[in-house]
Amino acid sequence: MPIRKPSRLPFKTHRVDYALEYGAGSLEVHQDAAAPGQRVVIIDDVLATGGTAMASAELIELTGATVAAFGFLASIDGLDGASLIAEYESVVALGAL
């Protein structure tokens, strides 16, 4: 299911605003993207501050689904984004930057 910047998805969406290290951002997901009780794995390219990952998790939870794990191609360890999403079961990054 796509999680996108505002006004990029064609149907009714949930929206979450979040802080970035250099400002603010917003993300949206279709309201019916996941079913209540469904387990979802969030995949993203880079884990930096964790703001985008946490906003994505909030969006998934608004649909009634549960975040089962996160996966990232890389993480920027100096920004400590993993600590923001540490409450979730599994966070996997294939490399560090």
- Dump pLDDT digits (tens) for 8-61: 999 999 999 998 878 899 999 999 999 999 999 999 999 999 999 999 999 999
Burial class (CB in 10 A: 0-12, 13-18, 19+), 14: middle
Instruction: Please check whether residue 43 lies inside any domain of the structure.
Output: yes
* CATH number, position 33: 3.40.50.2020
Instruction: Please check whether residue 8 lies inside any domain of the structure.
Output: no
pLDDT for 83 = 92
Distance CA 85, CA 49 (A): 10
Name the residue range of residue 26's domain: 13-93
**What are the distances in angstroms from CA 35 to CA 9, 45, 64, 69, 78?**
18, 25, 6, 17, 36
Structure tokens at 18: 């979040």
pTM equals 0.90
**Is the pLDDT at 4 greater than 90, yes or no?**
yes
Q: Number of structural domains, the chain?
A: 1
**What are the distances in angstroms from CA 89 to CA 40, 67, 82, 84, 85?**
12, 8, 12, 13, 9
Q: Give the containing element (helix H, strand E) for 58.
A: helix 51-62
